[in-house]
Amino acid sequence: MMANFWRDKRVFVTGHTGFKGSWLTLWLHLMGAKVSGYSLPAPTNPSLFHLARLQNCVQTTTGDVRDPKHVAETMAAVQPDIVFHLAAQPLVRDSYVTPLDTYATNVMGTAHVLEAVRNTPSVRSVVVVTSDKCYENREWLWGYREDDPMGGHDPYSSSKGAAELVTSAYRRSFFAKDPDNTVGIASVRAGNVIGGGDFAADRLIPDFIRALEKEEPVSIRNPHAVRPWQFVLEPLSGYLQIGQLLFEQGGKYAEGWNFGPADTDLQTVSQLCATFNHSLQKNDVAPVEVRLEPQPNAPHEAAFLRLDISKARQRLDWIPKMELYTALELTAQWYAGYLNNEDLRTLSENQIAFYQSLT
């Protein structure tokens, strides 16, 4: 992934006001891209988008990917070179409460974006962001590979599996037949991302921060669940690399890709809590009392999940550059800055610069 490549590229990002979308928007802006965002208002208050003043980095259109006409009109007006589709209903637990909205956003929203791409001749590269939960989870110990079956126990996970199928169908039906092979569409799957600026409900690190602000304990419902934790910039670096390769080489990389952490960074929820508390203390923030409160009647959530990243390692020379301990240090540093009213735009830019300096 070359920073110079992105200078003056017209990039269309759906879901740019969300957690990952905000980090991606800032990174693209720093590399000189002309970023246009399409999204509902920031999904949380506070939000990284507003705290880091990202409205100054992007031309924003407020819209819903469930509205195909508006998506198409907006994309046609922008005439982007590259599209990153991140807009989604991103929470497992919310999908049990609003399953129809989850499917409408995650499945039909993806179809609407791809249909808009089909009618926007400027586009040469499309990166559809789904989730590690798109796979049919069999709770096995080895990582899921890109050619494993799609599935999903809950509405969120199955909606991401369906979004993968929609992406594959559009790629094979409409873009693989392009005689010049000039448009590449890839899907990308990542694990549980952590980093500063996440304030979503029912996520571990944001729950910690809310407990800090309220001076209350944090309750952990699945202490033994194992997740592929990774710093937010890790998968984003893979998304950017794929976006560039699709633009430069058309359909050669138009397929599914996993971007996960090293196997050594798989930890249980309770282990992550202990490590994050230690990182908070190093940043002069008081630790949070952790209460392990399993909920036997809670909606189903996967107990074990990991990704096999050998394909990205072999074909892209992509590897995770940051150990989980460092990721938690940076995350604690960001939230300490938030609690101390520091300039979060500068802090976020410095963390991107630090990540880029890693080899």
Q: Per-residue pLDDT averaged across 112-139, rounded?
A: 95
Domains and CATH numbers, the chain: 2-357 (3.40.50.720)
> H/E/C letters for each residue in the chain?
CCHHHHCCCEEEEECCCCHHHHHHHHHHHHCCCEEEEEECCCCCCCCHHHHCCHHHCCEEEECCCCCHHHHHHHHHHHCCCEEEECCCCCCHHHHHHCHHHHHHHHHHHHHHHHHHHHCCCCCCEEEEECCHHHECCCCCCCCECCCCCECCCCHHHHHHHHHHHHHHHHHHHHHCCCCCCCCEEEEEEECEEECCCCCCCCCHHHHHHHHHHHCCCEEECCCCCEEEEEECHHHHHHHHHHHHHHHHHHHHHCCEEEECCCHHHEEEHHHHHHHHHHHHHHCCCCCCCEEECCCCCCCCCCCECCECCHHHHHHCCCCCCCCHHHHHHHHHHHHHHHHCCCCHHHHHHHHHHHHHHCC
For residue 106, what is the DSSP state? I
What are 180-212's pLDDT values in tens digits?
Answer: 667 899 999 998 899 999 999 888 999 999 999
> Residue 179: pLDDT above 60?
no
Given pLDDT bands bounded at 50, 70 and 90, which one contains residue 297?
Answer: low
Percent of the chain with pLDDT strictly greater than 70: 95
What are 216-228's pLDDT values in tens digits?
Answer: 999 888 888 877 7
pLDDT value, residue 216:
93
CB 225 within 8 A of CB 295: no
Encoded tokens for 158: 């199955």
pLDDT value, residue 293:
74
Give the containing element (helix H, strand E) for 302.
none
Given pLDDT bands bounded at 50, 70 and 90, which one contains residue 295?
Answer: low
Given pLDDT bands bounded at 50, 70 and 90, which one contains residue 337?
Answer: very high
Amino acid letter, residue 228:
P
Q: Per-residue pLDDT averaged across 126-150, rounded?
A: 92
Amino acid letter, residue 317:
D
Give the containing element (helix H, strand E) for 37.
strand 34-39
Give the Cβ contact number of residue 145 at 10 Å: 14
Choose between 92 and 108: higher pLDDT. 108
pLDDT value, residue 176:
79
What are 11-48's pLDDT values in tens digits?
Answer: 999 999 999 999 999 999 999 999 999 999 999 999 99
CA 146 to chain centre: 17
Count H helices and E strands in the chain, helices first. 14, 12
Q: Quick check: helix, strand or coil at residue 153?
A: coil
Q: Which of 299, 308, 315, 319 is nearest to 359 (CA)?
A: 319
pLDDT value, residue 275:
93
Give the containing element (helix H, strand E) for 7.
none
pLDDT value, residue 177:
67
What is the 3-state composition of the chain as percent helix, strand, coil, each rounded to the nearest 5? 45, 15, 35
Average pLDDT across the chain, whole number: 93
Q: Name, of 64-73, 88-97, 177-186, the range with top average pLDDT.
A: 64-73
This model's pTM is above 0.85? yes
> Residue 278: pLDDT above 60?
yes
pLDDT value, residue 182:
78
Cα(72)–Cα(31) distance, integer angstroms: 26
What are 153-175's pLDDT values in tens digits?
Answer: 899 999 999 999 999 999 999 98
Q: Are strands 82-85 and 59-62 parallel, antiparallel or unpaired?
A: unpaired
pLDDT value, residue 328:
95
Given pLDDT bands bounded at 50, 70 and 90, which one contains residue 8?
Answer: very high
> Residue 3: pLDDT above 80?
no
> Residue 260: pLDDT above 60?
yes
Encoded tokens for 273: 């809590």
- CB under 8 Å to 293, separation ≥6 — which residues? 219, 220, 221
Beta strands across the sheet bearing 266-268: 192-194, 226-231, 266-268
- Residue labelled with tokens 């300490």: 336
Give the lowest-confidence range in 150-154, 222-226, 261-265, 301-305. Answer: 301-305
Choose between 105 and 266: higher pLDDT. 105
Vertex 295: Cα angle to 291 and 298 (nearest 5): 140
> Residue 298: pLDDT above 70?
no
Q: Per-residue pLDDT averaged across 107-133, rounded?
A: 97
